[in-house]
A and B are shown apart, each in its own frame.
Chain A
């Protein structure tokens, strides 16, 4: 069964500082990997996704993530955080070419201090 672990429940960074949110997955083959962001009172919005190819993927809002098969990780990064990035971030894993049963991590809440 596929699973996702986001070890950090809550992270606080200063505006302008760099950010890395951790995500580890468990899946028997090469998975589809996603990062979603949820602002308060809103649904989830896709930031980026990895299906195959280049292991460093670029997303919206200046985010990027790197797929590392050896570490079963798909960490999300941003070089310089803006106050508007404060939100909850979810990593998700899915099985290629099968039903869209995404398994989400429990999320990491990002707080940005000015």
Chain B
């Protein structure tokens, strides 16, 4: 299995631009999570999906952030418009069991820099 695949690995953009991060979870997994990692705040859960349905988006910082999961094999996290404070590493993770904390498989992350 290729694991959780995220793209791009690095993204540099200018303030005000739209940014789209992509994630392909492990085949067969039914839960998908978006995390953000910064030096100041550590790892924060932004949103998670179960069976393609958003379950909890309370971690999404503001309306500029949106996430979709149109099917079981693909999810996007969009920031529009982007701001310098959005600069962080964004991780996607997937797991198999519903509502379980058992084991998250993380992608390698997208390093986002907003200038």
Query: How does the 8 Å CB contact mask read for B81-106 relative to A, with 1 for contact and 0 for none?
Result: 00000000001010100011111101
* B42 on the A face (CB < 8 A): yes
Interface residues on B, range: 20 to 34
What is the interface of chain A mostly: helix, strand, loop, or mixed?
loop
Interface residues on A, range: 20 to 34
What is the interface of chain B mostly: helix, strand, loop, or mixed?
strand
The chain B residues found within 8 Å of chain A, CB to CB, are: 4, 31, 33, 42-43, 45, 48, 55-56, 91, 93, 95, 99-104, 106-109
14 additional A-B pairs beyond A100-B99, A100-B104, beta carbons within 8 Å, are A32-B101, A36-B106, A41-B109, A43-B4, A43-B91, A43-B106, A43-B107, A46-B103, A99-B55, A99-B99, A100-B33, A102-B45, A104-B42, A104-B43
